């Protein structure tokens, strides 16, 4: 059994039952078209008092459940689908590394590059493959800058489901290789990620398949939520700040949802402040957070390909989460990103993608400008493995 009670629209609050396939809130998304941030993104709701009861009983039976290794139980309580539907390939339960070697202060690094495809995106693919199994779909389509696609290709392969990918031809070679070796059908798009997003939407309207475009289905956010639940389970106290590489704003929204769910279930009082780390030319969410008005990023062009987005699909939701959590959004340059990537590799032993290193660059930026309080407990989300884009490193040399 699960405690999932249905969907709620993050824009108008309308509720929808679990049952047939649903993507966006039908009334809020009526005038949505590709090329604008998504409207009427749905989120999952749960029977929170029942979860609280079960978690408390679990803690009585297993008083050290907060120690690493016990989070599966917590993730299950806040998960929308039956365990039997999940793929066999293990996803998540990634390490949290503490280090003082980067800044002198203690920093916690949540390294998701150790997921099966080398990326955080496996968390969303995992749940979407389970949803495809529930609904009887044999095919899932996705648009991606590379990581969501290589992730979907891998997780689909583990479950015998066909993956159809739309990705920019300019995606890093290693990610395109991953897509091919896992047997996915790859359509390269002469254009940007935003063009690929539109192409995948068109495809799913005319084919019998599930669409995994980020934030389009509530489970893409819900899958990403598991990283926030793991942080809660891995740390004795929730962190003060979580720095998140931010392109579309969906990882940020997923982590925010974890802490909102925990608060709603009465397991937590204060949610961590979320900090969106953006590349300076791909800064639509930062500009939106600063001005209150949405505008596309003018011309995204960054070495951090995973967060290079002109029109962030979850812009509205991500900015709402930044405000609700008391967080902020920070721009960093490619030079700062590449220097942070090198520092992480040389001082922590973690080789992460440029987009992941944007979190460390943003952290230094915040500290210099006095934007975070002293002695704060800080988590940096490192969402992808550095081997996915070795060209970026060559570029830095
Ligand atoms: Zn709505």
Between the CA of 247 and the centroid of ligand 1 the distance, in Å, is 23
Between the CA of 317 and the centroid of ligand 1 the distance, in Å, is 12
Between the CA of 10 and the centroid of ligand 1 the distance, in Å, is 7
Between the CA of 128 and the centroid of ligand 1 the distance, in Å, is 22
- Mean pLDDT over 341-353 rounds to 97
Whole-Å CA distances, 294 to 289, 317, 371: 8, 12, 24
pLDDT tens per residue, range 171-199: 888 888 999 999 999 999 998 888 998 99
What is the chain's Cα-based Rg?
19
* Ion ligand 1 contact residues with beta carbon within 5 A: 9, 11-12, 14, 25, 28, 40
Between the CA of 218 and the centroid of ligand 1 the distance, in Å, is 13
- pLDDT band of residue 65 (cuts 50, 70, 90) is low
Between the CA of 316 and the centroid of ligand 1 the distance, in Å, is 13
Between the CA of 231 and the centroid of ligand 1 the distance, in Å, is 30
Q: Residue 60 has what pLDDT? A: 83
- pLDDT band of residue 34 (cuts 50, 70, 90) is confident
Between the CA of 283 and the centroid of ligand 1 the distance, in Å, is 26
Between the CA of 16 and the centroid of ligand 1 the distance, in Å, is 10
Question: In Å, how far from its chain's centre is CA 387?
Answer: 19
Whole-Å CA distances, 188 to 121, 185, 193, 356: 19, 10, 10, 24
Burial 198-225 (b: 16+ CB within 10 A, else e): bbbbebbeeeebbbbbbbbbbbbbbbbb
Q: Residue 395 has what pLDDT? A: 65
pLDDT tens per residue, range 86-132: 999 999 999 999 999 999 999 999 999 999 999 999 999 999 999 99
Between the CA of 6 and the centroid of ligand 1 the distance, in Å, is 14
Between the CA of 27 and the centroid of ligand 1 the distance, in Å, is 6
Between the CA of 43 and the centroid of ligand 1 the distance, in Å, is 11
- The domains located in the chain, with CATH, are 96-119+222-396 (3.40.50.1100)
pTM: 0.96
């Amino acid at each position: 059994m699960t405690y999932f009670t249905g969907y709620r629209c993050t824009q108008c609050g309308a509720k929808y039952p679990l049952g047939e396939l649903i993507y966006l809130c039908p009334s809020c998304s009526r005038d949505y078209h590709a090329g604008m941030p998504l409207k009427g993104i749905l989120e999952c709701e749960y029977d929170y008092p029942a979860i609280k009861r079960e978690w408390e009983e679990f803690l009585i039976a297993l008083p050290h459940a907060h120690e690493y290794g016990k989070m599966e139980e917590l993730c299950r309580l806040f998960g929308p689908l039956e365990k039997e539907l999940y793929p066999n390939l293990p996803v998540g339960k990634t390490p949290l590394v503490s280090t003082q070697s980067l800044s002198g202060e203690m920093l916690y690094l949540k390294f998701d590059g150790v997921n099966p495809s080398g990326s955080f995106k496996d968390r969303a693919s995992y749940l979407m493959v389970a949803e495809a199994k529930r609904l009887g779909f044999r095919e899932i389509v996705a648009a991606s800058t590379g990581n969501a696609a290589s992730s979907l290709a891998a997780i689909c392969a583990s479950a015998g489901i066909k993956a159809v990918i739309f990705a920019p031809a300019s995606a890093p070679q290693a990610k395109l290789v991953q897509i091919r070796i896992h047997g996915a059908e790859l359509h390269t798009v002469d254009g940007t990620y935003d063009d690929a997003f539109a192409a995948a939407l068109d495809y799913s309207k005319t084919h019998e398949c599930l669409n995994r475009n980020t934030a389009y289905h509530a489970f893409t956010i819900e899958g990403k939520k598991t990283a926030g639940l793991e942080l809660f389970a891995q740390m004795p106290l929730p962190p003060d700040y979580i720095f998140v590489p931010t392109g579309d704003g969906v990882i940020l929204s997923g982590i925010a949802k974890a802490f909102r769910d925990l608060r709603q279930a009465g397991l937590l009082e204060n949610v961590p402040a979320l900090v969106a780390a953006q590349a300076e030319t791909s800064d639509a969410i930062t500009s939106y957070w600063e001005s209150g008005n949405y505008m596309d990023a003018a011309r995204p062009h960054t070495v951090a390909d995973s967060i290079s987005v002109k029109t962030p699909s979850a812009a509205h939701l991500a900015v709402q989460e930044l405000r609700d959590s008391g967080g902020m959004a920070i721009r960093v340059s490619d030079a700062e990103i590449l220097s942070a990537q090198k520092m992480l590799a040389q001082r922590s032993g973690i080789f992460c993608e440029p987009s992941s290193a944007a979190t460390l660059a943003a952290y230094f930026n915040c500290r210099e400008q006095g934007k975070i309080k002293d002695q704060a407990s800080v988590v940096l989300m490192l969402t992808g493995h550095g081997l996915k884009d070795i060209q970026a490193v060559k570029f830095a040399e």
